[in-house]
Amino acid sequence: MTNLLYFSTVSAIIMFFCGLWSFVSYHKHLLSSLLSLEFMMLGVFWLLVENSTNIGSEVYFGLFFLTMAVCEGALGLALLVLIVRIHGNDYFKSFNMLEC
């Protein structure tokens, strides 16, 4: 059981750092940045749920965190649709900061 717990914790940490690496290195499109942020949030959620079940605390905090992550994802997709409608693409280089 201890090996499974260790493997699950290491997997969640690797998941978070893979999302962080993809966020830092692949920042050409807004969609890839949003997907890597969501991948990082899933890694944090996995670690949070795993630790809360080991401690024996309530699971409702994990559900609240998952709800906030889903709301963050929906907000990011809404902004992506708005940016694609205004600019025509989601390249970061095509955004002009003076057009607000």
Question: Whole-prediction pTM value?
Answer: 0.77
Q: Domains along the chain? A: 2-87 (1.10.287.3510)
Q: What band does 57 get if pLDDT is binned at 50, 70 and 90?
A: low
DSSP at 58: -
The Cα 80–Cα 69 span in angstroms is 16
Q: Specify the residue for token string 């002009």.
A: 96
The Cα 22–Cα 1 span in angstroms is 32
Q: Is the pLDDT of residue 25 over 70?
A: yes
Q: Is the pLDDT of residue 100 over 60?
A: no
The residue among 58 and 39 whose pLDDT is bigger is: 39
